[in-house]
C-alpha cells in the first residue's frame, strides 16, 4: 500500500476511526472525541474538524501501558489503579491542521492516542484529542505514516 493512497477518517457522529486505501475501507475502530463538542479555539478542549495530516509519531516499540507527558515516556500505567487523570498512553499520532480554520491544531496538541479510559471509547469523552483503545492505536500506529492525510468530520 502506498501512503499517498491511505487516509484516516474520523466520524464524530459514529465515534469511529476508519483507515481507507483509495475507496476501500481497510479497517475501522471505535474512538472517542471531545465531550465538549466541536471547536477550533485554543483552550476549548473541543475536537476540530476538517483536513489534517499526521505530523509526528511517538511511542514506537513502547509498552501499551506507557504513559506519555510532552510526548516522552514517563512510566507505566497500573491497570489496577483507579485514577481520574486523563492519561495519554501507548502511541501518539500528532496532528497538524491543513485548513485555515484548524491551522492551530499542532499548537493545541491534538493527537490520536491511547487512553486509560478505554471504557469510554465509543462515547464523546476526550478533551479534544481522538482517543483509541491501546491495542487499536498500536495497530494504527504501525500502518500510519508521517504525512498521512486525516479527515475529521461530523
C-alpha cell at 55: 505530523
Chain segment 11-35, per-residue pLDDT in tens: 999 999 999 999 999 999 999 999 9
Instruction: Give per-residue pLDDT as tens, 112-150.
Output: 999 999 999 999 999 999 999 999 999 999 999 999 999
Run of H or E including 113: strand 111-115
Whether the predicted pLDDT of 2 surpasses 70: no
Rounded Cα distance, 114 and 92, in Å = 7
CATH code given to domain 3-153: 2.40.440.10
pLDDT of amino acid 4: 54
CB distance 52 to 96 below 8 Å: yes
Question: Has residue 54 got a pLDDT over 60?
Answer: yes
What percent of the chain has pLDDT above 90?
92
Contact 16, 130 (CB under 8 A): no
Mean predicted confidence (pLDDT) in 40-56: 97
DSSP string covering 27-48, please? EEEE-B-BTT-B--STTS-PBP
Band of the pLDDT at 43, cuts 50, 70, 90?
very high
Domain regions of the chain by residue span:
3-153
pTM to 2 decimals?
0.94
Angle at 43 between CA 150 and CA 56, to 5 degrees: 35
Amino acid at each position: 500500500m502506498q501512503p499517498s493512497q491511505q487516509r484516516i477518517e474520523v466520524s464524530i457522529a459514529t465515534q469511529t476511526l476508519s483507515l481507507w486505501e483509495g475507496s476501500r475501507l481497510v479497517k475501522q475502530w471505535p474512538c472517542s472525541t471531545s465531550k465538549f463538542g466541536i471547536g477550533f479555539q485554543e483552550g476549548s478542549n473541543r475536537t476540530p474538524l476538517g483536513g489534517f495530516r499526521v505530523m509526528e509519531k511517538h511511542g514506537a516499540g513502547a509498552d501499551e501501558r506507557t504513559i506519555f507527558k510532552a510526548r516522552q515516556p514517563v512510566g507505566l500505567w497500573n491497570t489496577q489503579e483507579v485514577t481520574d487523570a486523563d492519561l495519554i498512553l501507548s502511541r501518539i499520532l500528532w496532528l497538524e491542521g491543513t485548513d485555515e480554520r484548524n491551522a492551530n491544531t499542532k499548537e493545541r496538541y491534538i493527537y490520536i492516542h491511547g487512553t486509560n479510559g478505554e471504557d469510554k471509547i465509543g462515547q464523546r469523552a476526550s478533551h479534544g484529542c481522538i482517543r483509541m483503545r491501546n491495542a487499536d492505536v498500536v495497530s494504527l500506529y504501525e500502518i500510519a505514516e508521517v504525512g498521512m492525510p486525516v479527515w475529521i468530520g461530523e
